[in-house]
Chains A and B, each alone.
Chain A
Amino acid sequence: MFGYVRPRGDLLEKEEFAAYRAAYCGLCRALGKQYGFRARFLVNYDMTFLYLLRASAAAPCETALCWCPARVCGRKRCTLDPESFGTVAACTVILSYEKLRDNVRDEGLFKSLPYRCLSVLFRRAYRKASRRLPDFAALCAGQLSALHELEAARSPSIDATADSFARIVSGCAADIQDTGLRRPMEQILYHTGRFLYLADALDDLKQDCDKDTYNPLRYRFQVIDGALSAEDLDYMTQLIDSSVNLAGAALELMPGKAYGKLLENIIYLGFPAVFFAVKAGKFQAKASLWKKKPKSETTGDTK
């Protein structure tokens, strides 16, 4: 996925940071257990957020020390929650596979070769995940096809294009039966999907202008030298703020607060911080969260 949905690690308490890391490692472990070793490479911050949301309504799960392939010696603490991780791992595999197929469609024959190879490697895992979540797999395929049509038609609507992606992300909660839990979660995930799509569009704007490929921002705003004007960037920030507000309002209505502080940090602080970095052209998707020290380990600055 993208890696845009992440907490402000430096503003988390030590225990919250440890809980986030344990959830990340727990997802990695679940991916490895269910879909083979190579599926561990699909773990990402975005899907860790999905796990935290799904698990927030339940009581906190146990943790245990687990073997970590990233550490040759030593183990890491990971959350043990087979039920929630099972669903999140299936969503991760389906979304990652669809993204690979999307890249195959977008790139030329030569440039798409790595994506083709990777999609072949993950095809088996995708089939297994699709059997677990057939409705979600169908929703992904349908919405991505709708998104392709909008892109082919050079749609100037950032709402319509973001909607297709946001529906996919909100579909990750469609299997939940309890409407009191599902509805707020769907609203949070819808606006998370919107945020992901718009942040990615802004991040790729220069590159898309150089390559002359589709980007909804090129058709919605006036783009000069691969960048938006300061006024349009402010407008985009206000759209993101509105999404943060709607996601935050939904979060308040979620029953259960097992990961409440973490989720608040991601939505209220993580989203704006990431968008701020994207606007400044300084966002690094591969920048590790684990190098930052949590709040309680730093002194002085609390912002």
Chain B
Amino acid sequence: MKDPYEVLGVSRTASDSEIKAAYRELVKKYHPDNYANNPLADLASEKMKEINEAYDAITRSRGTSGSYQGGYQGGGQQSSGSYSYGGGSNSSYAQVRAYINANQLDAADALLNTAPNRDGEWYFLKGTIAYRRGWLDEARQHYQTACAMVPSNYEYQNALRSVQGGYTPYRQTSYQRSDMDDACNLCNTLLCLNCLCGGCR
């Protein structure tokens, strides 16, 4: 096993609060939500496990409580970044999701192409296969169709958001683009002006 202090990136003389802060920072970075739909979700999951084990080892060795309440407990469907088919009449969709989770994208695509109907789920899965391949233009078009067909589905909406650019949580704030900041500042200024002029009544 790796040195737990090295895993958390802290020195052996670090205080408990510094260790907790480093742990929270790493959990935020490698949280499964950041790797949902990412082909490397399994590696992120392993990394989370390593971080949790390192934190537990340090807290045990220091005699402090190992059950950190604010931490990520792991487990659950989302933790591995995998899909589960929650409904619908076409059982082959469940098999397609299983292929996607196993990164067998050609098999998933071939099976999906044999489906008789092209509903929202079909377009969502087609988009997911494209996204996993890195074909982001195609993925976005399929996700848009899925969202248009089933507007109330949060899974489809989240998937669409992932291909609409924007900045994901693991990116450090120092790497935010300046033109993005300027645009946000401008929007905030306009909103404030609108409120001051009575637009918020």
Tell me the bound Cα distance from A271 to B171 in angstroms: 14
Flag if A159 contacts B43 (CB, 8 Å).
Answer: no
The one of B134, B164, B171 in contact with A190, judged by C-beta atoms closer than 8 angstroms, is B134
| A214 contacts B by Cβ under 8 Å | no
* Smallest CB gap from A234: residue in B: B165
Q: With an 8 A cutoff between CB atoms, is B68 at the interface?
A: no
Q: Is B194 an interface residue (CB 8 A)?
A: no
CB of B165 within 8 A of CB of A241, answer yes
A183-B43, A272-B177 as given contacts; A242 in contact with B136, CB under 8 Å:
yes
Q: Which residues of B contact A252 (CB under 8 A)?
A: 29-30, 170
Interface contact B177-A249, CB-CB below 8 Å: no
Interface hits, A74-99 → B, CB 8 Å: none
**Considering the chains assembled together, what is the distance between the CA atoms of A253 and B46 in angstroms?**
10
Q: How many Å lie between the Cα of A276 and that of B182 in the bound state?
A: 15
Q: Which residue of B lies closest to A243 (CB)?
A: B136
Give bound CA distance, A157 to B165, whole Å: 19
**A184-B40, A253-B40, A268-B171 known; A246+B134 contact, CB < 8 A:** yes
Measured CB to CB, the closest approach of chain B to A56, in angstroms, equals 16
Are B165's CB and A163's CB within 8 A?
no
Q: Determine whether the beta carbon of B43 is less than 8 Å from that of A238.
A: no
Residue A264 CB within 8 A of the other chain: yes
Neighbouring A residues of B4 by C-beta, 8 Å: none
**Contact across chains for B138 and A159 when beta carbons are under 8 A apart:** yes
Interface residues on A, range: 20 to 34
Partner of A264, one of B133, B138, B166, B175: B175
Question: Complex formed: what's the CA distance from A246 to B165 in Å?
Answer: 10
A159–B34 touching, CB < 8 Å: no
Residue interface bits B43-81, CB-to-A below 8 A is 1, else 0: 110010000000000000000000000000000000000
CA distance A166 to B137 in the complex (A): 14
A276 touching B179 by the CB < 8 A rule? Answer: yes
Check: B163 CB closer than 8 A to any chain A CB.
yes
CB distance from B5 to the nearest CB of A (A): 16
Task: Using A158-B137, A238-B164, A241-B165 as known contacts, say yes or no to A248 and B171 having CB atoms under 8 A apart.
Answer: yes
Minimal beta-carbon separation of B45 from chain A (angstroms) = 11
Q: Kindly list chain A residues whose C-beta atoms are within 8 Å of the C-beta of B130.
A: 159
Measured in the bound complex, the distance between the Cα atoms of B100 and A189 in whole Å is 22
A220, A241, A242, A250 interface centre (most CB from chain B within 10 Å): A242
CB distance from B159 to the nearest CB of A (A): 12
Q: Does A180 contact B (CB under 8 A)?
A: yes
B40/A183 in contact, CB under 8 A = yes
Known: A159-B138, A183-B43, A303-B178. A237 touches B165 (CB 8 A): yes
B47 neighbours in A (Cβ, 8 Å) = 253
Partner of A180, one of B34, B43, B172, B175: B43
Distance of B134 from chain A, by nearest CB (Å): 5
Tell me the complex Cα distance, A286–B133, Å.
32
B136, A187: Cβ atoms closer than 8 Å: no
Min CB gap B27→A, angstroms:
13
Whole-angstrom distance from the CB of A237 to the nearest CB of chain B? 7
C-alpha gap A227/B115 in the complex (Å): 39
Known: A249-B40, A253-B47. A159 touches B135 (CB 8 A): yes
A112 at the interface (CB under 8 A from B): no
The residue of chain A having its C-beta at the shortest distance from the C-beta of B141 within the complex is A159
A239, B165: Cβ atoms closer than 8 Å: yes
Alpha-carbon distance between A241 and B133 when the two chains are bound, in angstroms: 16
Does A68 interact with chain B (Cβ within 8 Å)? no
Chain A to chain B: the 3 pairs with minimum beta-carbon distance, closest first: A241-B165, A238-B165, A159-B135
Report B's interface with A, CB cutoff 8 A.
Answer: 29-30, 34-35, 38-40, 43-44, 47, 130, 133-138, 140, 162-168, 170-172, 175, 177-179
